Amino acid sequence: MASFPDLQVPLSDGTVTVRRTAERDIPEILIAYQDDPVLHLRMGTPRPPSGAELGRRAERAEHDRVAGHALSLSIVEGDDDVCVGQIDVHRVDWDNARAELGVWVSASRRGRGLARRALVLAGSWLLLDAGLRRLELLTQPDNQAMIGAGRAAGFQFEGVLRGYFRPFPGLPRYLQRRSDGRVDMAVLSLVERDVRG
């Protein structure tokens, strides 16, 4: 059974650090969802997570890592250890050595290249050290900030997956975009040869 290695030493480029998400990050995560009322929609959930849900995720994190089901990484800036964003590794398919990444940066820290830097760090580690061979970023086709950050981090734009998923209750019509109500998603990928050079 495949599992994610334990990221004992955080990944850093001197400006951004990526480390395993910890229970101490919960207040900043809750504030980020409060400050951006559509963040949960961009992350594909019908509502923001509650403190209790984040607590349960923190309790399951080690089991999910060892079992290879999921991994949550926090983005911190500079010497500060305060969580300003996250990279969630999910929809892991070890048979095909691929996973999907979900990425967010708090509203007050956007536009500074943090998502790009974090994706470079996490992408290289996941592809060179964690055993994955393909990473995917899925986002709404109008999310130019996320598409731009992914491209700047080396992810290749592959196109739009038309009618990719069924909308959940509360998803605004402007995100559905299709007459049949289904949701299109743009897909970007990073593969091992992209980071090996």
* In the block, residue with structure tokens 């919960």: 26
pLDDT at residue 140 in the model: 87
Instruction: Quote the CA–CA distance of 120 and 154 in Å, as a whole number.
Output: 7
Residue-level pLDDT at 174: 52
Q: How confident is the model over 5-62, as pLDDT tens digits?
A: 999 899 999 999 999 999 999 999 999 999 999 898 888 888 899 999 999 999 999 9
Q: Which CATH number fits domain 11-196: 1.10.10.10, 3.30.930.10, 3.40.630.30, 3.40.605.10?
A: 3.40.630.30
Query: Which pLDDT score is estimated for 123?
Result: 98
**φ and ψ of 29, to 5 deg:** -65, -45
pLDDT of residue 194: 95
Q: Collect the ranges in the chain with pLDDT lower than 50.
A: none
pTM: 0.91
Boundaries of every domain in the chain: 11-196
> 16-20 and 11-12: which strand pairing?
antiparallel
Strand partners, 76: 17, 83
pLDDT number for residue 43: 86
